[in-house]
Amino acid sequence: MTGRGIDPASFAARLVRWQRDQGRHDLPWQQGRDPYRVWVSEIMLQQTRVDTVLRYYPRFLQRFPDVRALAAAALDEVLEQWSGLGYYRRARNLHACARQVCLLHGGHFPRTRQELEALAGIGRSTAAAIAVFCFEQREAILDANVQRVLGRAFGLRPGSDAASRKAMWDCAESLLPRQDLPAYTQGLMDLGATVCKPTRPDCLLCPFAADCPRELDPVRAARAPAPAARRSLPWVLLWARDPARPAIWLQRRDAHGIWPGLWCLPQHDDESRALAQARALGGVLHCVRHDPVLHRLTHVDLLLHPMEVVLRPHALAADAGDGAGWFDPARALRLGLPAPVRKLLQRA
């Protein structure tokens, strides 16, 4: 049975009541109004599940307890703490933003959405969330969860075109209450994450179950065609070791593409090229081919073939610099490494 439609005038009050009774209240970034803690959580939660963030968030704050500590750290330290969270551009922007806050704002986060949005890596919705939760500004958020809630509740069709985006933002702003902004905003997040899910929504648990026109689901209607089959990339990872020091050869990856800016074992398309680089680094003593490792990314599967080459470096082999070099194993593990490479070196 199709609902008669949700009354926009009562939407906020009903959502706030539901959030106070059924919403999430014990997440670590909800304890207080420190904009640094809220900001870090908002960036980590972009395209990452809450249960994953809960494993990384306490460790990150222990290493970087405030924005000044984060700004003073080297980028490699930040990437090390981020290793395994993926979407590494977020970590680079996090570091750049911390430096902007210290340089331009004296180490204090600005209070308005417009000023927050001017900082590196902070979009309109993230800026609004910080402004609401930390400074109780009257701003609307519109992340993927909220778009889904509003789309289903009010028959809005999500889309990337300007008209669709404007309709969504107009709706989000028109629903803002005059009070209880933090509870309302958290309610939108909680409802989208725990009840109004992309597939198999728990409609019976929804505070709008009686009058939501869910059978006319614009989110479902606007769903993109099924994606093409996932790509698979076979990579040979050159694990060059100098046992005399001991040391491992690492290269920093480009700032674009997969694992941007991280230190990594050199990647090659085939073993012959990996061996050619090994011979350029030194005299090969012996070679061991390890079992392949499947590492799934959002749009591609990496089939990693670690090839361990023990060698005696040439006298002219470069020491560690900005782009490549020899690292002792302990120092290597303090760098920003891709998660599968870190696990490989840790096992060794």
Q: Tokens 């089959």 — which residue? A: 229
Beta bridge partners of 284: 311
Can you tell me the distance from the alpha carbon of 131 to that of 126, in angstroms, rounded to the nearest whole number? 9
How many alpha carbons lie under 13 Å from residue 134 in its C-beta half-sphere?
Answer: 23
Residue of 57, 94, 60, 52 lying closest to 80 (CA atoms): 60
**Cβ–Cβ < 8 Å for 6, 212:** yes
- Give how far Cα 192 sits from Cα of 72, 75, 241, 308, Å: 36, 34, 49, 46
Amino acid identity for residue 258 in this structure: I
Amino acid identity for residue 290 in this structure: H
Residue of 345, 335, 233, 246 lying closest to 290 (CA atoms): 345
Prior bond to 340 cis, omega within 30? no
| Longest CA–CA separation in the chain, Å | 79
Single out the catalytic residue among 42, 80, 139, 308: 42
DSSP state for residue 161 in the 8-state scheme: S
Respond yes or no: is residue 215 known to be catalytic. Answer: no
Can you tell me the distance from the alpha carbon of 147 to that of 160, in angstroms, rounded to the nearest whole number? 12
**Cβ–Cβ < 8 Å for 218, 244:** no
Helix (H) or strand (E) holding 257: none
Can you tell me the distance from the alpha carbon of 154 to that of 290, in angstroms, rounded to the nearest whole number? 54
Active site residues: 42
